[in-house]
């Protein structure tokens, strides 16, 4: 019973780390106490995403016309859902090279954050005292 | 100050002018730097400024060089099929 509740606590801890990592780029590492890594990752991903918006405007986050790109962009942070609403309004329509480059920047930022989410989850899992028990 | 903030915010609502020129390829460099930094940050055990910068710079250079090489090879293939291949086929 005690072991099971401890495992549940571990699972909740890992879930919180994953949620923080998605909410704020680098947040997962921050929660794990790795502040320097959190700052490096958070700043880099945020700047990359903002550069994408700067190059192509808000129109690059398009939840209607570019669903697959949007799925990658949303990995940056849940805040992208809000931007998607503005992008879908069609007011900030953008075409050509700025659209392509802006989409690539914002989507790569999202995919890099996905890599960091998975990495933070893995670190949180292996640091758990019950992690070894569950794998053996 | 307000003008500066307004112009910075306005730039996020208006796309930049980027033509279909060879110079537009340079936009890959900041993205390559981001990929190198984040990838290395997930790989190294501890982040020490000097060693981290060195490893990141090395990865950045490797990616940039291989992308440039891939571009040259693709250009050569396109040139061959556009310029030489029709001559060889007798067109």
List the domain boundaries for chain A.
Answer: 8-131
Q: What is the pLDDT of residues A22-40, one digit of tens each?
A: 999 999 999 999 999 999 9
Helix, strand, coil in percent for chain B, rounding step 5: 80, 0, 20
Q: Give me the interface pTM, i.e. the ipTM.
A: 0.87
User: With 50 as the cut, is the pLDDT of residue B77 above it?
Assistant: yes
Between chains, do B34 and A48 touch, taking CB under 8 Å as contact? yes
Per-residue pLDDT of chain A (136 residues; tens, 9 = 90+): 567 787 888 889 899 999 999 999 999 999 999 999 999 999 999 999 999 999 988 888 988 888 899 999 999 999 999 888 877 777 777 778 888 899 999 999 999 999 999 999 999 998 876 655 554 4
B24 touches chain A (CB under 8 A): yes
Q: Is the pLDDT of residue B47 over 50?
A: yes
Torsion of CA B34, B36, B42, B47, to 10 degrees: -100
Chain B neighbors of A121, CB-CB under 8 A: none
Number of domains in chain B: 1
The reply to whether B62 falls in a domain is: yes
Full domain range(s) for residue B57: 28-91
Instruction: Name every chain A residue with its beta carbon within 8 A of the beta carbon of B52.
Output: 40
Residues in chain B within 8 Å Cβ distance of A92: 13
**Domain for residue B68, yes or no?**
yes
């Amino acid at each position: 019973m005690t072991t099971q509740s401890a495992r549940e606590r571990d699972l909740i801890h890992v879930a919180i780390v994953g949620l923080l990592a998605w909410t704020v780029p680098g947040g997962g590492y921050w929660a794990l106490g790795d502040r320097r890594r959190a700052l490096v990752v958070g700043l880099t991903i945020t700047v990359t995403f903002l550069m994408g918006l700067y190059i192509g405007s808000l129109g690059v986050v398009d939840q209607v016309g570019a669903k697959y790109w949007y799925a990658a962009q949303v990995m940056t942070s849940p805040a992208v859902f809000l931007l998607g609403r503005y992008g879908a309004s069609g007011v900030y329509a953008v075409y050509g090279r700025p659209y392509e480059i802006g989409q690539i920047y914002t989507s790569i930022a999202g995919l890099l954050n996905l890599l960091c989410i998975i990495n933070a989850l893995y670190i949180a899992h292996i640091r758990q005292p019950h992690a070894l028990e569950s794998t053996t | 100050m307000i003008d500066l903030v307004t112009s910075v915010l306005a730039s996020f609502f208006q796309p930049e002018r980027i033509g279909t020129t060879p110079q537009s390829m340079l936009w890959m460099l900041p993205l390559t730097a981001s990929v190198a930094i984040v990838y290395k940050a997930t790989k190294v055990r501890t982040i020490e400024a000097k060693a981290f910068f060195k490893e990141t710079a090395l990865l950045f250079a490797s990616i940039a060089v291989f992308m440039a090489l891939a571009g040259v090879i693709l250009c050569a293939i396109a040139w061959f099929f556009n310029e030489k291949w029709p001559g060889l086929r007798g067109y």
